[in-house]
Amino acid sequence: MASSGGISDQLFVSVKLESPRLAELDLDPHLFGSHPVAGSWDPCKALPLERAAAALWDLSCVVPSQHEPLDFKFVLKQKNDSSQCIVEEGPNRSLGCQSNEVEMRSAVFKLDEGNDVLECKIQVETEMLSPFDLAASWRAHQEYLQPSTVRGAHDVTINTGLEGRAKNGFASGLELDLEKYVVPTPNMDSGVVYAANLTENPRSLLQTGSSSNNDTTKDILYNSTKGDSSPNHYAKTMKGTTEGHEPSLEEHRAMFVDRGVGSPNFGRPTKETFSVSNFKLDSEAKQDMPAAEGAVAAAAVADQMYGPKEDRKLAIVLVGLPARGKTFTAAKLTRYLRWLGHETKHFNVGKYRRLKHGTNQTADFFRGDNREGVEARNEVAALAMEDMLSWMQEGGQVGIFDATNSTRIRRNMLMKMAEGKCKIIFLETICNDKDVLERNIRLKVQQSPDYAEQTDFEAGVQDFKERLAYYEKVYEPVEEGSYIKMVDMVSGKGGQLQINDISGYLPGRIVFFLVNCHLTPRPILLTRHGESMDNVGGRIGGDSSLSEAGQLYSRKLASFVEKRLKSERTASIWTSTLQRTILTAHPIIGFPKIQWRALDEINAGVCDGMTYDEIKKSKPEEYESRKKDKLRYRYPRGESYLDVIQRLEPVIIELERQRAPVVVIAHQAVLRALYAYFADKPLEEVPNIEIPLHTIIEIQMGVAGVQEKRYKLMDAVHHTMGL
C-alpha cells in the first residue's frame, strides 16, 4: 500500500444517494454498518446523509487503507419519528480497500406491505489520499469557517455538494449531432501544423533583412501537413435523471481552496520531482505571484512585469535525441513567455537545414562519421545562432534555440558564440518510454517536411529510426553549465525535473512552467456566461443575473457538455465568483465546479455598472485614454488588460497541468486573455479578439500542438459591447 513518509495512506469514501421522492415522503436517508464506516448495525445509531441538492444526499468519510472488507446498508427514517426505519432490500453492500473505484447501483426500499417501492440511485466512490492531502483539505475547511475580508470572496472555491452524474434533462434543446453547431474559426487554422514551421524564419539564408513568423517562406520550406485533425471521440457511458431549478447564491456552498497552482480539489502532490543542484531563487523570484488582494496587487505586479525587462538576454538551448518532444516543448515555452510580455522567438535549426540542403536528406546525412554531414549541420546551427544573437541585439529578450545539440563540441561552439552576449541555459529532454517514442517517431514522419515527399510511410519510419540510431552513438548528456533536464515528463506517468545553476526571475518562471507541462491530449472548452441583465442594458462590469436568453443558453450548454464529455469522469467546470457564470454552470451536473476569483471580469473600477455612453459623457478623458491604448489603459481604481493577464497566470499553469478536460465559463475580457495564450496572439491584439456570446471555443491540446473548433449554440439576442 502506498504511503507518505512512512505513514499509511487513507481511503476517502464518498457515498451519494439520489431520489426526487424522498423529500415528498419526508424521509431522510442514513447509512449503517460495520465499524468504522458507520460504527454499528444499530439503526438508531445510523449516520445521516447530508442534503446537497434538491434530490441529492451525500456522506463522506475516511477509513484506514489497511482494513477488512466493510459491510453497510442504507436506511430511511421519518424526520419526526426516528424509531421507524426502512432498511433497503437485498444483501449487504461491501466496501473493499481498492483505490479510485466507482460503484453505481440502486437501492430499493419497500415503503409498506403493499407494492409501494422506492428506488434510489446510489454512487459509492473511493480514492486513496495521503495524510498530507487530508490535512490540506482540513486546513481549507478551517479557512472557509473564517472567510477572508477581501471583497468578501475567496480566490478559489469548489462546491462540496457534487451532483451525481446524470442526464441533465435538456436534451430536447440540443440535437445529438454536435457538428451541426460548428462555425468557422476566424483566428486559428483547424488543421495540424508542424510546430517547427511556426518558428523564426532564417533571415541569414533568405537575405530579407528582417524576420517574421508570418511571411510566405512556409511554401519554400515545404510546409506540408498530414494527419487526422478531428477531435477525440468519446465512448458512451451511463446516464440518469435529475431535476433542475434556478439557484440562489446561498445554494452554492463552497469550500475555500488555496490559490496555489496545485489541484484545487484535495491538493494531491504531483508525480514530478525536483532534483536540485545549486538551485537559487533571488528576491525577484519570490515576487512572481501577486498577493490575493484584488486588482490593486495585480496591477502592481503587472507594472513590474511590463516595465523595464532584465538587462541580461537569455538563450534556452534545447538538447536531446530526435522524437523527444523538444520542438513541442519549445513551442509551448515560446507561447507562454510571449503571453507574459517577454519578447521571445523560436529558432529551429532543422528549418535552416531544409532551406540550405533540401528535404531529401537520407539517414546517412546524420551519421557521426559523415564529415561533410557534420560540417553542414554545424554550419546551419551557427547560422541560426548568429540570427538569434542579432535579433537579441535588436531588442529581443529570450531566444529558444531548437536542435539536437547532442555533443559537447556543438554545445561548446554555441557557448563561445554567446559569450558576453547572452546567458545560456540548456534544456535537455529525455524519454525512455518505448511506447511514447514509437508514437513520436510516427508523428514526426507524418508531419515533418523532411518526409513530405516520401510516399512510403513505413520506409520513412525506418529511415528516421536509422537517423535516430546514428544520433544515439554520439549522444552526450548535458553535464556542463546551467541546465534543466526533463526526464520522462512527456509520458504522462510522472517524471523528474533536474536543475543546475539556475537563478533569476525569468529562469525561475521557466522552471515553474516546465514542471507543470505535459503533452497529454485533452480538450479545453472556453465560453462566456449566458446573456446577463447587464448585457441587455449595455452596462459593463456588475454582478447581475441571467436574462431569459442567458438561462436558455445555460440549459443548452449543459446538454452540450453532457454529450461532448460524457465519458470524462475527471472533467471539471471552472467559473468566476460572479453569479452570471455560476448560474450558467448550474444546470451542468456530474462534474465538480470550481470557482476562481482570478476568472472574474476585468475590474472597471469607478466605471463599474456604467454604459459606454455614460462614460463618454461623464468621463471623456477616460473614454479617450482607453480608446488610444485599450491594452494598457487601467480603469480608475480598476484594472487593465495587462493586469488581467498577470492574475490569470495561475489559471494558465493549472490548465497546462490538467490531464482531463476543463470547461471554463468566464467573461469576455478574461477569455480574450486566455484565448490569446492558446492561439499565440500578440498582446496588442488581446483587447480586440472576438469572443461572442453563446459560443463554445474548443481548444485541443496535445502533441500535435493546439487546434480550435467553435460551436455556436444560439444567437445573442442583444449586441454586447466588450470591456
* Cis peptide preceding 36, ω within 30 of 0: yes
Q: Are residues 594 and 158 in contact, defined by beta-carbon separation less than 8 angstroms?
A: yes
Which position among 529, 586, 667, 694 bears the catalytic label?
529
Q: Are residues 589 and 163 in contact, defined by beta-carbon separation less than 8 angstroms?
A: yes
Torsion angles phi and psi, residue 605, rounded to 5: 55, -130
Task: Compute how many other C-beta atoms are within 10 angstroms of the C-beta atom of residue 644.
Answer: 28
In the annotation, is 252 catalytic?
no
Q: Are residues 459 and 409 in contact, defined by beta-carbon separation less than 8 angstroms?
A: no
CA distance 427 to 151: 42
Q: Are residues 531 and 550 in contact, defined by beta-carbon separation less than 8 angstroms?
A: yes
Which position among 120, 422, 431, 517 bears the catalytic label?
431
In terms of phi and psi (left: phi > 0; alpha: psi -120 to 50; beta: otherwise), the region of 605 is left
CA distance 60 to 138: 13
CA distance 286 to 408: 34
Q: What DSSP character marks residue 44?
A: G
Angle between helix axes 649-657 and 668-679 (nearest 10 degrees) is 50
- Report the largest interatomic distance among the alpha carbons of the chain, rounded to a whole angstrom: 93
- If you compute the radius of gyration of the chain from its CA atoms, what whole number of angstroms results? 28
Tally DSSP H helices, then E strands, for the chain. Answer: 20, 28
Q: Are residues 440 and 326 in contact, defined by beta-carbon separation less than 8 angstroms?
A: no
Task: Please choose, from the candidates 64, 92, 240, 73, the residue with its C-alpha nearest in 3D space to the C-alpha of residue 166.
Answer: 240
Which position among 18, 28, 58, 402 bears the catalytic label?
402
Three-class DSSP category at 621: helix
CA distance 688 to 327: 30
H-type alpha helices, 101-169:
131-145
In the annotation, is 529 catalytic?
yes
Task: Please choose, from the candidates 447, 505, 484, 490, the residue with its C-alpha nearest in 3D space to the C-alpha of residue 318.
Answer: 484
Which position among 18, 163, 200, 601 bears the catalytic label?
601
Task: Please choose, from the candidates 427, 262, 197, 443, the residue with its C-alpha nearest in 3D space to the C-alpha of residue 333.
Answer: 427
CA distance 262 to 653: 9
Nearby residues of 614 by Cβ (< 8 Å), 6 or more positions away: none
Q: Are residues 123 and 567 in contact, defined by beta-carbon separation less than 8 angstroms?
A: no
CA distance 57 to 74: 12
CA distance 302 to 676: 17
Task: Please choose, from the candidates 77, 10, 70, 65, the residue with its C-alpha nearest in 3D space to the C-alpha of residue 41.
Answer: 70
Would you name the residues annotated as active-site residues? 402, 431, 529, 601
